[in-house]
Amino acid sequence: MDFINDIQEYFSHRLPHYLELHRKMVEINSFTANPKGVNTLGAFTAQEFAKFQFLPEFVQSNNKEQGKHLFLTRHTKDHLECPTIALVSHLDTVFPEEEELQHNFHWRVEGDRLFGPGTVDIKGGTVLIYMILEALIKFTPQVFDKVNWVVCLNASEEILTDHFSLLCLERLPKNTLACLVFEGGAANDRQMQIVTSRKGRATFQVTIEGKSAHAGNYHAKGANAIVQMAHTILDIATLTDYNQKLTFNVGKVNGGVVMNRVPHYAEAEVEMRAFSPDIFNKAITDMLALSNHSRVQSRDGFTCKVNITKQKQSNPWPRNQQTDHLFNIWQNAGKKMAIDVFHEARGGLSDGNMLWQHFPTLDGLGPMGENAHCSEHDPSTGKEQEFVLASSFAPKATLNTLAILALIDHNEA
């Protein structure tokens, strides 16, 4: 128990330093489509982790309009015979500079709440990785030196391409002990939720080809693509099944040219999410099967053409034995701290969706906060900006430190 108290006191004593580091990261705009900002944050992060003798490797995203992924590595002398642990975060946020200015969204401290772009998603998680490594070096240097550490920072996580995960596969050995993802957790007092599964996501493009006509003189000769899109949207909506935790969302619709013309074209963008791989795959099949299901026809016999194509697919991360093994280690660490640790199934995606099939993976290990991806502040309507709780850094870092030590010990047993 003294060891736990020593770590907690150390984190509490060093908290002003960690929060200053956090502030500097938050004040760098690192919107995914701002490669200069992403790279500036990457360079700053590499500079800070160099204090722990981590060597940086920058890899340009395969999309030149995005920034560079960052891999920070510290190998042991006998690295081929020692275990590897990967600590995963990302550099990018969802906030353009213009949006930050429009909503006066910047580093702001109100009591325990630290507001700002990326405070909880995910710059607070990167700071937590820093804290854990610092504590391991100070309190258990011999254990720290027996592990190969790789800090993996995605430059474009918010749009979740597979480029970063492929780079991870190239750099991490197959027997990597764990990929620990430091996305933030929900705010709670004496409970901590650890992410052990995430929904998968598939996106679709829906296009309708109709037949144009003069809306006043020859309306009957037209086949209204927007009307057919309305039917198709209702068909898509019926595929949602809350009992199976399956959702379809029609997020964007366009169509038509002018009001006095029967529209010949309409398009929509749709996303689908599900936890179960079987439900996920069946839902893709059901969605694509709606192609060519048309109800709208011109009087002279032209039938609207419905075409549905799948655009992107990120598979679900279901509960599995390897993740549950890690969770049990974290849960036992929580018991030592008198903290309840629970499973969380999360609807959003993370790098965990891309890594869990290759390595034991756990997520939600960052500090606690709320309102991720929100920049608006309007108390009269209940809108509040993204924030992280300063008080959550020390206990979450302590939990992760204890669990990582137990993971290493378990591997050696």
Q: Give me the CATH code for the 200-314 domain, please.
A: 3.30.70.360
Q: Which two tokens stand for residue 153?
A: 């920072």
Q: What are phi and psi of 293, to 5 degrees?
A: -85, 100
pLDDT of residue 83: 94
Residue with tokens 């930050």: 100
pLDDT of residue 80: 76
- In the sheet that holds 247-255, the strands lie side by side as 247-255, 265-274, 200-209, 305-314
Q: Give me the CATH code for the 2-198+316-412 domain, please.
A: 3.40.630.10
| CA pseudo-torsion sign 352, 353, 359, 362 | positive
> Residue 233 is inside which H or E element, if any?
helix 225-237
Neighbours of 220 (CB within 10 A): 11
CA distance 233 to 251: 11
Neighbours of 354 (CB within 10 A): 26
Residue type, 3: F
29: exposed, middle or buried (Cβ count in 10 Å: 0-12, 13-18, 19+): buried
Contact 334, 355 (CB under 8 A): no
Distances, alpha carbon 326 to alpha carbons 145, 283, 330, 356, 406, in Å: 21, 30, 6, 12, 10
- Indicate the pTM of the whole model: 0.93
Number of residues that this document lists for the chain: 413
Which stretches of 242-311 are DSSP H helices? 277-288
pLDDT of residue 173: 95
65: exposed, middle or buried (Cβ count in 10 Å: 0-12, 13-18, 19+): exposed
pLDDT of residue 1: 64
Complete DSSP assignment for 250-269: EEEEEE-S-TTEE--EEEEE
Residue with tokens 């999309």: 63
Strands 261-262 and 185-186, bridge-based pairing = unpaired
pLDDT of residue 189: 62
pLDDT in tens, the chain (413 residues): 688 999 999 999 999 999 999 999 999 999 999 999 999 999 999 999 999 999 999 999 999 999 999 999 999 877 678 999 999 999 999 999 999 999 999 999 999 999 999 999 999 999 999 999 999 999 999 999 999 999 999 999 999 889 999 999 999 999 999 999 999 987 676 689 999 999 999 999 999 999 999 999 999 999 999 999 999 999 999 999 999 999 999 999 999 999 999 999 999 999 999 999 999 999 999 999 999 999 999 999 999 999 999 999 999 999 999 999 999 999 999 999 999 999 999 999 999 999 999 999 999 999 999 999 999 999 889 899 999 999 999 999 999 999 999 999 998 86
pLDDT of residue 191: 82
Distances, alpha carbon 286 to alpha carbons 239, 272, 293, 375, 393, in Å: 8, 11, 12, 36, 44
Residue with tokens 């039938």: 303
> Residue 88 is inside which H or E element, if any?
strand 84-90
Domain spans in the chain, listed from the N-terminal domain onward: 2-198+316-412, 200-314
Cα–Cα–Cα angle for 188, 191, 195, rounded to 5 degrees: 90
Residue type, 155: A
Cis peptide before 122, with omega less than 30 degrees from 0?
Answer: yes
